[in-house]
Amino acid sequence: MTAMTGVLHYRPLADKRISTRITEVLSSWKGTPHIKGQQVKGEDGGVDCLRFVTGSLDELTGREYQRFNHLPPDSSMHVRSAAIAIMKSILEFYNPIERVTTDYLEDGDILVSGMKGPGHGMLVGEGVLWHASGTRVCYTGLKLVDHYQKLFGIFRPMYKESWI
């Protein structure tokens, strides 16, 4: 994974129903406390960035809730070799997913960012980045800020039409 630089652009999906479904799922996590190693939605729960991404994908794909107990807390994403291994596991589990080489983001895209190396996972929903960071699950614009300034990969799940 090498860092990509430049401005991120958003391209809406042709089927607005898919975008709406993605945003419904992502916003249902809003306000969940950021707690490493957890994956429980809601004000009384907790989730880290890695498990926010996988929990949201489980809901979108209709898969049975996956605990991903074999994955370490997202702090392990800050070690390059661990981040690559974790992302490979996730990408294999939610296959088919393709790596995107354009700077155009679509709803449902998974972004891996960091400062010195890959360390943070986010999802795109209706033109904003959703992630578990700081104290809670929140959304930001399409600008990579603070310690998530470098983009190490954009991954696009295929067959999003099955999410509606």
Is 146 a residue whose pLDDT tops 50? yes
Mean pLDDT of 131-138: 89
Q: What is the pLDDT confidence band of residue 1, given thresholds at 50, 70 and 90?
A: very low
Residue, of 15 and 74, whose pLDDT is higher:
15
Q: What is the pLDDT confidence band of residue 63, given thresholds at 50, 70 and 90?
A: confident
- 30: its two tokens: 């809003």
Is 5 a residue whose pLDDT tops 60? no
User: pLDDT tens-digit profile of 84-130?
Assistant: 777 788 888 888 999 998 878 999 999 888 777 777 888 999 989 99
- pLDDT at position 81 is 77
Q: Are the C-beta atoms of residues 37 and 48 closer than 8 Å to each other?
A: yes
Four-residue CA torsion sign, 144, 148, 150, 155:
negative
- pLDDT at position 49 is 87
Out of 3.40.220.10, 3.90.1150.10, 3.90.1720.10, 3.40.718.10, select the CATH number for domain 9-158.
Answer: 3.90.1720.10
Residue, of 132 and 102, whose pLDDT is higher:
132
Contacts 24+ apart (CB under 8 A), 47-50: 47/132, 47/137, 48/73, 48/74, 48/132, 49/74, 49/77, 49/120, 49/121, 49/122, 49/131, 49/132, 49/133, 50/74, 50/77, 50/86, 50/90, 50/121
